[in-house]
Amino acid sequence: MNEKTTLTFAIMDPPFESARSTTFFRLLNVAASRGYNINVFAYEGGVHLPFNKQKRHANGVHGTTLEEENHPLPKEWVNELINIAKQNNGHIEWVNCGLCADERGIDETVSGVRRGSPADFWKLASASDNSLVIGTR
């Protein structure tokens, strides 16, 4: 085991559906800020999180313009967290399940995300200090 803490996360939830996805990002934020090495295996709906075609929208109910609403986009959080990890001498390896991405048409992700398989999850988890699975409920 390396001296630097390495954590692996598996996430199944898509964004904008439950508090699990934002809680997941908060956990990543703490780990990245501490300079941990972080692995993410996005499974099933989780592959939507770094989808590069997410777009902001205005909000008529709020009475806000597109700029004022500044709607949260998880793809930007992924970018930010990758940068935070780097700034703290850590690293985020984000693997999107390839078959899960195909069946959902997630054909474009932010930089730093790669396609992979369950074998990647097993290998990453095996080389980690611990893993946390966040399943859909």
Binding residues for other proteins (CB under 8 A): 10, 12, 43-44, 117-119, 121-123, 125-126, 130-131, 133, 135-137
CB of 11 to other proteins, least distance (A): 11
Helices (H) and strands (E) in the chain, counts: 5, 5
Judged by CB, which is closer to other proteins: 64, or 136?
136
CB of 110 to other proteins, least distance (A): 24
Is the C-alpha dihedral spanning 135, 133, 54, 56 positive or negative? positive
Q: What does the DSSP assignment read for 47-112?
A: GGTTBTT-----BTTTTB-HHHH----HHHHHHHHHHHHHHTT-EEEEEEEHHHHHHHT---B-TT
CB of 128 to other proteins, least distance (A): 8
Judged by CB, which is closer to other proteins: 92, or 100?
100
Judged by CB, which is closer to other proteins: 16, or 122?
122
CB of 98 to other proteins, least distance (A): 11
How is residue 80 written in tokens?
């930010």
Judged by CB, which is closer to other proteins: 7, or 73?
7
How is residue 82 written in tokens?
């990758």
